[in-house]
Amino acid sequence: MKVLGKTLQLVGLVLLPVAMTLELTGALGRRESGVADMLLMLVFGAAAFALGRFVEGYAA
């Protein structure tokens, strides 16, 4: 469980700079609802990090 938590935290931390880089290069777009793909990646990254933190804390 501890390894899963650390992995989720790492995914969350890596995803945010990747999203910023993709936004700056113009590789990301907008959906029909007007929500930027970068915002979706930001929410997913933050949720993955928080979930990883909870899982790691639960395992300890």
Burial label, 36 (beta-carbon count in 10 A; 0-12, 13-18, 19+): middle
The residue with greater pLDDT, 53 or 39, is: 53
Indicate if the pLDDT at residue 26 is higher than 90.
Answer: no
Q: What is the pTM of this model?
A: 0.81
User: Are the C-beta atoms of 49 and 13 separated by less than 8 Å?
Assistant: yes
Indicate if the pLDDT at residue 34 is higher than 70.
Answer: no
How far from 18 is each of 3, 4, 6, 28, 32, CA to CA, in Å?
22, 21, 19, 11, 23
The residue with greater pLDDT, 26 or 5, is: 5
